[in-house]
Amino acid sequence: MTSKSFSLAAKGLKINTADDLQSHVASLIESKDVTHIDLSGNTFGVPACKALASILSSKSSTLQSIDLHDIFTSRLLEEIPPALSSLLNALLECERLHTIDLSDNAFGLNTKDPLVDFLSKHTPLQHLILNNNGMGPIAGTSIANALTSLAARKAEARKEGREAPDLESIVCGRNRLENGSMGAWAKAYEAHKSGIKSVKMTQNGIRQEGISHLLRSGLSHCKDLEVLDMQDNTFTLMGAGALSEVVPSWTKLRELGVGDDLLGASGSIKLFEALAKGDTKSVEVLRLQYNDITSQGVKSLLQAAKHSMPKLRRVELNGNKFDEDDLSIGALAELLGERRDAEGKDDDPEDFWGLDELDELEEESSDEEDEAAEEEEKLEERILETADEVDNEPVAQRKDPDVDELAGALEKTEI
């Protein structure tokens, strides 16, 4: 309990009207210094959102972060735009609001406009969390274009002597962004290149052409990037090659997530060789599961870990194609263990150091042609599976347990 936070998180309330709202927000109305509000896990109707907007406007000088994920469950499609407009228009008045979580709400073609308007104008924005919003490539393009416009607005504000912090982090996962929106997203990241530190775009059905464009034309400009999580998309050798080209330029990179991305045996070696040659002294975590990495790849990774990544502490390699008794795996585990002994703390989580459980390894093929054919077949199956998943993915009802460390940092206490 703290005097600066207000929460109705996960109460499962169905708040339809202004009268329904009043019984739950008395302490929020009275608060003079609230900095964080969490309304997630409830459902709000249009009249309730209008009443709530008035309350949010009254907190314009103090509010710094707000969690609005999963707030429209069971609402009709036509209810969401006016309800969302009321909330976001009020938040535009909040001059210190730097973090907003709008995950698990449907922002497809018919409901995206209020969000697009907000994102193009809210110059205090630093951290944006959009996970499982059912965007698709067209709505996703509109969101990215809004962020590009935001960069111009921030620049104008600074010229006028107003404070406009950099956009530092974006979470936009499980949104079916696909290749079609990657041109717009590349422009958005280039526009915010001076500030971007964390990008998480997992499970978006992005294929190798889109991945390559995003990396080369967008994220390559973000020299201060510290965290990149692109897990559960499709890289193949093409995307792995693009990543290998740009990763040496990220000299502050701490965490790289490319698990379940079909890097392939050759693509993974390209990446490890690039990590070995680049300035990767800050890298702490590599997520590399389910990528057809072979024993040769593990050997290459070991050399990079030894000589170029002195801070590397955690490597996830389950689901690849090598033997658990591989000598390089043993040496890598020993190296990470030594670092834990030297640098670890008693309260470090179990998965903070070392290797993950290697309980789903595959056998390495001795026939390169068979391996290539198998990789191509797996790629085709993966594309079909991804298409089925996104077509059937529920929106505005399902929570992602690992949206982002920023979301986890949002306070969950009540006044």
Cβ-contact 207, 172 below 8 angstroms: no
Beta-ladder partners of 229: 200, 257
Cβ-contact 77, 51 below 8 angstroms: no
pTM for the structure as a whole:
0.90
Can you state the angle between helices 80-91 and 113-121, rounded to 10 degrees? 10
**Domain membership flag for residue 121:** yes
**Domain membership flag for residue 298:** yes
**132 and 225, same domain (yes or no):** yes
Cβ-contact 96, 386 below 8 angstroms: no
**297 and 218, same domain (yes or no):** yes
The secondary element (H helix, E strand) that includes residue 91 is: helix 80-91
**142 and 273, same domain (yes or no):** yes
**56 and 85, same domain (yes or no):** no
Alpha carbons 30 and 57: distance in angstroms, whole number: 13
Which domain does 356 fall in, by range?
A: 79-93+104-380
Q: Count CB neighbours of 326 within 10 A.
A: 18
Alpha carbons 289 and 268: distance in angstroms, whole number: 11
What does the pLDDT profile of the chain (415 residues) look like in tens digits? 345 999 999 999 999 999 999 999 999 999 999 999 999 999 999 999 999 999 999 999 999 999 999 999 999 999 999 999 999 999 999 999 999 999 999 998 889 999 999 999 999 999 999 999 999 999 999 999 999 999 999 999 999 999 999 999 999 999 999 999 999 999 999 999 999 999 999 999 999 999 999 999 999 999 999 999 999 999 999 999 999 999 999 999 999 999 999 999 999 999 999 999 989 999 999 999 999 999 999 999 999 999 999 999 999 999 999 999 999 999 999 999 999 999 999 999 999 999 999 999 998 875 543 455 455 445 545 554 554 454 444 444 444 444 445 545 444 434 4
**25 and 164, same domain (yes or no):** no
**Domain membership flag for residue 252:** yes
Beta-ladder partners of 314: 285, 354
CA distances, 407 to each of 68, 115, 131, 235 (Å): 11, 19, 11, 27
**155 and 190, same domain (yes or no):** yes
**83 and 56, same domain (yes or no):** no
Q: Count CB neighbours of 80 within 10 A.
A: 23
> Which residues, 6+ apart, have CB-to-CB distance to 351 below 8 Å?
314
**19 and 44, same domain (yes or no):** yes
Edge-to-edge strands, sheet with 314-316: 5-7, 36-38, 65-67, 99-101, 127-131, 169-173, 198-200, 227-229, 255-257, 285-287, 314-316, 354-355
Cβ-contact 318, 345 below 8 angstroms: no
**123 and 263, same domain (yes or no):** yes
Residue with tokens 């801070």: 311
**283 and 336, same domain (yes or no):** yes
**99 and 86, same domain (yes or no):** no
**Domain membership flag for residue 223:** yes
The count of structural domains within the chain is: 2
**355 and 240, same domain (yes or no):** yes
